[in-house]
Amino acid sequence: MATPLHSASTTDSTEAKVLAPLPYELPPLPYAETALEPVISARTVGLHHGTHQRGYLDKLAKLVVGTRFANMSLEGIIHATSGVAAHAAIFNNAAQAWNHAFYWRSLAPNGGGRLPAPLAARAEASFGTIEAMIAKLSAAAVGEFGSGWAWLVQDGANLHVMTTANAGTPLTERLRPLLAIDVWEHAYYLDVESRRADYVKGVMDRLINWQFAYDNLGA
């Protein structure tokens, strides 16, 4: 089982079991920066985690000073600010911090391969075949226009593939995220330039963490 990163509180039973820590601590990677090579280089991982993800947390810390959000968990901030134009900057930075913490756990050295049996059964019930689910998730990640995320999510007994633009997250849709693929350019550009499809194929073939998806699966 994956080691969970628990926040102080959760706001909805549909949220994933593995959550980002309270703001504004940068969660450590669950593996070495070199562990995802050759699909994702240590240079990309270091920049992505140490600069981009840290940047969202640092900005969030400044934005919430003196507000009612200052002592909330990331999930609490996301739910409290979603759709509120006046708090868009707070939402964007909180959601991106959460999404990134979840993304790193969605990858694993020597990932890919077979799904745990209960997850495989749920995938077949929802998509017809495991191959169909993988193809749909891959196509969603490649096809998302601009910056965003591709997700495998759970809604009750069913699994779905969805995408979100920019800082969007399934948490605001009351869906349980199981896996995330970051398709912002900073996730892959240093390694494959604009060839997002190559990055997605490498992730799906060699890095995707099916065990983590299973760990997040609800009843």
In the chain, % of residues over pLDDT 90:
87
Q: Domain check: are 151 and 71 in the same one? A: no
pLDDT higher than 90, residue 46: yes
Q: Domain check: are 169 and 202 in the same one? A: yes
Taking the C-alpha atoms of residue 81 and residue 69, their distance in angstroms, rounded to an integer, is 9
Q: Write down which residue in 61, 76, 105 finishes a domain.
A: 105
Q: Domain check: are 62 and 148 in the same one? A: no
Q: For residue 19, what pLDDT is reported? A: 41
pLDDT category, 25, cuts 50, 70, 90? confident
Is 15 within a domain? no
Is 9 within a domain? no
Q: Domain check: are 80 and 121 in the same one? A: no
Q: Domain check: are 99 and 145 in the same one? A: no
Is 10 within a domain? no
Q: Domain check: are 121 and 207 in the same one? A: yes
Residue pLDDT, tens place only, 175-187: 999 999 999 999 9
Is 92 within a domain? yes
Q: Domain check: are 141 and 200 in the same one? A: yes
Q: Domain check: are 74 and 100 in the same one? A: yes
pLDDT higher than 90, residue 160: yes
Question: Would you call 212 exposed, middle or buried from its count of C-beta atoms within 10 A (0-12, 13-18, 19+)?
Answer: buried
pLDDT higher than 60, residue 118: yes
Taking the C-alpha atoms of residue 132 and residue 25, their distance in angstroms, rounded to an integer, is 38
Is 19 within a domain? no
- What is the CATH classification number for the domain harbouring 49? 1.10.287.990
pLDDT higher than 80, residue 37: yes
Average pLDDT, integer, range 190-200: 97
Residue pLDDT, tens place only, 47-104: 999 999 999 999 999 999 999 999 899 999 999 999 999 999 999 999 999 999 999 9
pLDDT higher than 50, residue 167: yes
Is 202 within a domain? yes
Q: Domain check: are 63 and 135 in the same one? A: no
Is 61 within a domain? yes
Q: Structurally, how many domains does the chain consist of?
A: 2
Is 205 within a domain? yes
Q: Write down which residue in 54, 77, 105 finishes a domain.
A: 105
Q: For residue 23, what pLDDT is reported? A: 52
- What is the CATH classification number for the domain harbouring 180? 3.55.40.20
Give me the domain span that covers residue 65. 42-105
- Three-state SS string over the chain comes to CCCCCCCCCCCCCCCCCCCCCCCCCCCCCCCCCCCCCCCCCHHHHHHHHHHHHHHHHHHHHHHCCCCCCCCCCHHHHHHHHCCCHHHHHHHHHHHHHHHHHHHHHCECCCCCCCCCHHHHHHHHHHHCCHHHHHHHHHHHHHHCCCCEEEEEEEECCEEEEEEEECCCCHHHHCCEEEEEEECCHHHCHHHHCCCHHHHHHHHHHHHECHHHHHHHCCC
Q: For residue 24, what pLDDT is reported? A: 78
Q: Domain check: are 185 and 124 in the same one? A: yes
